[in-house]
C-alpha cells in the first residue's frame, strides 16, 4: 500500500507547499534537487543494475538501458525538462498543457512498474517527485494558468506512478518482460539523475554544501 500512497502524498504536498507558502526558487531547492539526483542514481546503481544483470546476461540489457535513455530524451522534447526539476517553456499557458501531461504521465507510469519488487525504490521516487511537483506548480502559477487547471494537472500527475505500480502487479504475463522493462526504466533513471547532478553544478564551480548533500544522498541510498 505504501507504494501507492507515498507518491500521491508527495506530489500533493509539493503542490500545497507552493500554493500556501509561495516559496522563492533558490539554493535550498537546488540542494534538494542535487540530493534527489544523487539518491536516485545511487539506488539505481546499488539495487536495480546488479539485480537486472544477475537475472539477464548479455547485451540485451544494455540495449534496453540505452533505449530508456533515448526514450527519456524524446519525452523531454514535450516535458521541457520537468522530470529533473526544470521547466523551460516560455509564454502564458491558459489551456491545459496536454503534451506536457502526456510526456510526464508516460515517464511516471514507467517508473511505477518496478516499485512492488523493491522495498526502497519508492523512497527514491518520493525524493524525485517532490521537487518536480514544486517546480511544476510554481511554473504554472507564473504562466497565469488557472489554479483549477493546476490542481487538476497535479492531481492526475500524482496518480500516474501508482497506476504504473498497479499495472506492473496485475497485467497477466508482465513478469516475462520484467528484464527489458526494468532495463528501460534504469536507462530513464540514469538519464534523469545524471542530468539533475549536471544542472545542479552552476558553472562547474566547487560547492562544499552541494558536495555534502550529494554524498549524503549516496550514503542514505547505500544504507537503505
Per-residue confidence (pLDDT) for residue 67, from 0 to 100: 96
8 A C-beta contact, residue 44 and residue 186: yes
DSSP per-residue string spanning 130-199: HHHHHHHHHHHHHHT--HHHHHHHHHHHHHHHHHHHHHHHHSTTGGGGHHHHHHHHHHHHHHHHHHHHHH
- Residue 131's CB is within 10 A of a number of other CB atoms, namely 23
pTM for this entry: 0.86
Name the residue with cell 498497479.
Answer: 166
8 A C-beta contact, residue 128 and residue 5: no
Please tell me which residue, 96 or 74, carries the higher pLDDT value: 74
Please tell me which residue, 193 or 203, carries the higher pLDDT value: 193
Rounded Cα distance between 79 and 160, Å, is 15
In this predicted structure, the answer to whether residue 147 has a pLDDT above a threshold of 90 is no
Per-residue confidence (pLDDT) for residue 86, from 0 to 100: 64
Rounded Cα distance between 189 and 107, Å, is 10
Rounded Cα distance between 22 and 25, Å, is 9
For the ranges 26-30, 112-116, 132-136, 138-142, the lowest mean pLDDT is seen at: 26-30
Amino acid at each position: 500500500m505504501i507504494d501507492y500512497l507515498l507518491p500521491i502524498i508527495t506530489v500533493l504536498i509539493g503542490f500545497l507547499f507552493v500554493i500556501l507558502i509561495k516559496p522563492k526558487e533558490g539554493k535550498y531547492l537546488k540542494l534538494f534537487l542535487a540530493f534527489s539526483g544523487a539518491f536516485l542514481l545511487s539506488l539505481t546503481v546499488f539495487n536495480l543494475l546488479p539485480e537486472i544483470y544477475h537475472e539477464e546476461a548479455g547485451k540485451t540489457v544494455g540495449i534496453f538501458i540505452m533505449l530508456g535513455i533515448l526514450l527519456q530524451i524524446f519525452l523531454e522534447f514535450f516535458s521541457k525538462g520537468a522530470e529533473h526539476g526544470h521547466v523551460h517553456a516560455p509564454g502564458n499557458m491558459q489551456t491545459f498543457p496536454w503534451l506536457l501531461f502526456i510526456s510526464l504521465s508516460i515517464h511516471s507510469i514507467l517508473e511505477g512498474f518496478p516499485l512492488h519488487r523493491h522495498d526502497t525504490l519508492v523512497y527514491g521516487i518520493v525524493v524525485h517527485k517532490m521537487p518536480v511537483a514544486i517546480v511544476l506548480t510554481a511554473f504554472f502559477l507564473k504562466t497565469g494558468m488557472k489554479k483549477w487547471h493546476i490542481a487538476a494537472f497535479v492531481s492526475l500527475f500524482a496518480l500516474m506512478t501508482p497506476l504504473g505500480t498497479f499495472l506492473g502487479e496485475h497485467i497477466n504475463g508482465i513478469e516475462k518482460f520484467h528484464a527489458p522493462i526494468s532495463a528501460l526504466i534504469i536507462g530513464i533513471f540514469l538519464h534523469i539523475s545524471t542530468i539533475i547532478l549536471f544542472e545542479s553544478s552552476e558553472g562547474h564551480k566547487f560547492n562544499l554544501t552541494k558536495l555534502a548533500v550529494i554524498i549524503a544522498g549516496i550514503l542514505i541510498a547505500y544504507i537503505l
